[in-house]
Amino acid sequence: MLIDLTATLTPETPGVSWESAKDLERDGWNARLLHLYSHSGTHMDAPRHFGCSHEIGTTIDELPLETFLGPARVIHLDVSAGELLQPVHLGELAADFVPGQALLLHTGWAAHRGNLEVFRNQLPRVSVELARWCVEKKVRVLGVEPPSVADVNDLAEVTKIHEILLSGGVTIVEGLINLDQLPGEVEFTLGAFPLKIEGGDGSPCRAFAHLNSY
């Protein structure tokens, strides 16, 4: 079974707009000219996003394909607005986690996508301790529902958390949806494929889960 984890890009998505480039009746085919912020919608952060580097790749086009497809686990959390997520939130998953897996944090925050004030400004945040845990445990990808892993209105915090993760080889995917449909007790396969943009700091991506045992 495949589960789509990607939010649809629309003209209402922050950082997204388009215009007609070709018209079927006028030109013989349809085409759009897209204007995309590199961190719009469901997207992936490369180390360059915060001026970091790592041996696996610094820019989005340098990241290996193995980053984009592999085993994953999800943790279902009941959290408050603005809550700092700690390693203790992972419960038994912390002991069961296998290096190289992706870790998806389901907080229910995707339900707030229609309210930008809440979705962007009151999001649950990854703590320094959890970010360091992810590096120590060799998390391949850290995926979250909010548009950021940290408070976007606190430059020091958002920089610190991104630097720990991205410098530590943890690729970040933000803006995921449908994490409530994933089983918390078993491993599944996560795919998250960005555009291959030369020198890119990030890119919108198509993310999905393949439930291996279904």
The answer to whether residue 79 sits within a structural domain is yes
The answer to whether residue 126 sits within a structural domain is yes
Mean pLDDT for the chain? Answer: 95
pLDDT band at 17 (very low <50, low <70, confident <90, very high): very high
The answer to whether residue 32 sits within a structural domain is no
**Residue bearing tokens 């193995």:** 66
The answer to whether residue 30 sits within a structural domain is no
pLDDT at 27 over 80: yes
The tally of domains found in the chain comes to 1
Query: Which regions of 59-201 does DSSP assign to beta strands (E)?
Result: 69-76, 84-85, 102-106, 125-126, 141-144, 171-174, 188-194
Strands 125-126 and 84-85: parallel
pLDDT band at 89 (very low <50, low <70, confident <90, very high): very high
212 or 136: which leads in pLDDT? 136
Cβ distance 190 to 70 under 8 Å? yes
pLDDT in tens, 192-214: 999 999 999 999 999 999 997 65
The answer to whether residue 96 sits within a structural domain is yes
Could you tell me the residue range of the domain that residue 125 belongs to? 2-7+38-210
CATH code assigned at 55: 3.50.30.50
Q: Considering Cα of 34, then 39, then 43, then 47, what sign does the dihedral take?
A: positive
Q: Considering Cα of 160, then 198, then 177, then 111, what sign does the dihedral take?
A: positive
The answer to whether residue 49 sits within a structural domain is yes
Looking at residue 212, its pLDDT comes to 78
The answer to whether residue 129 sits within a structural domain is yes
The answer to whether residue 145 sits within a structural domain is yes
